[in-house]
Chain A
């Protein structure tokens, strides 16, 4: 078990960061999702040993990262903020960080070069960080996190502010790290960034773990709340006639070129719909649901799915 969080809370003065979280992390890539101020960074910083839990315990590889110096050797952390030691070149920065992490002095420069190469920064590594774009800063931060070959990576918002070309590239590189056997925690508040990276997510909301696990498993939760399904087809009346009596259908509205079905049990409704389509040989040109996407899951989970027009 890489991380064990047990009844852990963290306050800053009177402000609550994380509230009574119990959670375990085994391995692989995990996406840490949640709105701004939900406690993602607090949790990551506690795992990185920057913060001490106010109550409860949090261990990484069985040790407390705040108190146990040695266990931080196995952690690689890339912070959220942009500031670094801008006077240094990327190579110097990563070399220093590698040395502080315990890479032997004669090996540190080589390790830093390898880490920067892994992040696609070989060409720019002799330039000062001051002039870097956001994408290059993110890559440099990631290089500092991996230079000492840690087993456990904590990446706080590594994709924020990165242009699309760089993002595709960075996502690919993070996946490679996970494929090499590292445990990776990536936080983000933009869902689609995480979607391209992993399907294992943890949703943090109001300082608590709201949901965890495979995103598609979590998505099943969505079937608990009403759905609207829009079907565009050649014979909408046939569908309406067939489904009108089903107990899971709440309402059927005809629209131009199709029909909108409101259901209380999406899972059954989709099956029933497919059966009707097949039985009656209806040609469906489009099938969609505004409530059936990860954004909707996210909103549903965070409790306040707002009324849509």
Chain B
């Protein structure tokens, strides 16, 4: 026993609180976008005016639409008919009709957050913060885009999905339930498309000019005025130019997805394929613009104006 004495436990210890070198592995550069995305969501979530107010409006839209769906199930809707030519009831038409309201709410978010992202970062010197670290331009773009998508998806995917579930709940029989089960993937697809549009396009405008104010003005002008003009033009010319109106295009796609024919209204003139093409082209052009501008900012790098 005495051969192996148990080391006496000291009565007191002073622990070395000194600096410990980080020994763990660093995460791969390809995960940086996740960090940026989370920050973008956290940033939007932070104050009442940036995102939560709009989210509140989105919730109100969902509740009102759900209420309409439930209370006025059998009321026919003006302007849209089912493929067989029968007037659509609010049960079927509420979800696609609600999309334009979600668009309005998403526009508000894109105006208060989306249209300022890149321009704001240029102005506040945040690019120095990003590019002095192992963040590549593509990480930044992907992260910001994903962040904006996540924010808008809360409204634009979440709302329609809830409405789709409500629609399932209103089915009279199991057969009907199974027959209308596709509303879920349809609502998802619709929501994701709209989310992409309202995340990417304002981001593109925010990269267009280096001043958040001008970026906001340009985005508002494009969405409200150019869209309105395109719509008026297409009414006069009976052409599909109204596809330039993002709101109308999204509307049209919604009606198409939910098998409703538009008899009159803003989105009547747009061919669904054209509408889809327009939304995707807008998003692609915007993302390309952001990538181009962020690369330029990356090359000028950190520090002063040399």
- Whether the complex brings A and B within 8 Å at their CB atoms is answered yes
Q: Name A residues whose Cβ lies closer than 8 Å to a Cβ of B.
A: 130-131, 133
Question: Within the complex, what minimum Cβ distance (angstroms) separates A184 from chain B?
Answer: 29
A131 / chain B contacts, CB cutoff of 8 Å: 305
How far, in angstroms, from A133 to B306 measured CA to CA in the complex? 9
How far, in angstroms, from A131 to B306 measured CA to CA in the complex? 8
3 nearest interchain CB pairs?
A131-B305, A130-B305, A133-B304
How far, in angstroms, from A130 to B186 measured CA to CA in the complex? 52
Question: Within the complex, what minimum Cβ distance (angstroms) separates A220 from chain B?
Answer: 44
Q: Name B residues whose Cβ lies closer than 8 Å to a Cβ of A.
A: 304-305
Using CB atoms, name the residue of chain A closest to B304. A133
Using CB atoms, name the residue of chain A closest to B305. A131
How far, in angstroms, from A131 to B304 measured CA to CA in the complex? 10
Using CB atoms, name the residue of chain B closest to A133. B304
A130 / chain B contacts, CB cutoff of 8 Å: 305
A133 / chain B contacts, CB cutoff of 8 Å: 304
B305 / chain A contacts, CB cutoff of 8 Å: 130-131
Question: Within the complex, what minimum Cβ distance (angstroms) separates A307 from chain B?
Answer: 22
How far, in angstroms, from A130 to B306 measured CA to CA in the complex? 11
How far, in angstroms, from A130 to B305 measured CA to CA in the complex? 9
How far, in angstroms, from A130 to B304 measured CA to CA in the complex? 11
What would 3 A/B residue contacts be, using CB atoms closer than 8 Å? A130-B305, A131-B305, A133-B304
Question: Within the complex, what minimum Cβ distance (angstroms) separates A211 from chain B?
Answer: 37
Using CB atoms, name the residue of chain B closest to A134. B304
Using CB atoms, name the residue of chain B closest to A130. B305
Question: Within the complex, what minimum Cβ distance (angstroms) separates B166 from chain A?
Answer: 50
Using CB atoms, name the residue of chain B closest to A131. B305
B304 / chain A contacts, CB cutoff of 8 Å: 133
Question: Within the complex, what minimum Cβ distance (angstroms) separates A127 from chain B?
Answer: 13
Question: Within the complex, what minimum Cβ distance (angstroms) separates A1 from chain B?
Answer: 43
How far, in angstroms, from A133 to B305 measured CA to CA in the complex? 8
How far, in angstroms, from A92 to B6 measured CA to CA in the complex? 85
Question: Within the complex, what minimum Cβ distance (angstroms) separates A86 from chain B?
Answer: 10
Question: Within the complex, what minimum Cβ distance (angstroms) separates A308 from chain B?
Answer: 23
Question: Within the complex, what minimum Cβ distance (angstroms) separates A229 from chain B?
Answer: 37
Question: Within the complex, what minimum Cβ distance (angstroms) separates B94 from chain A?
Answer: 50
Using CB atoms, name the residue of chain B closest to A132. B305
How far, in angstroms, from A7 to B305 measured CA to CA in the complex? 45
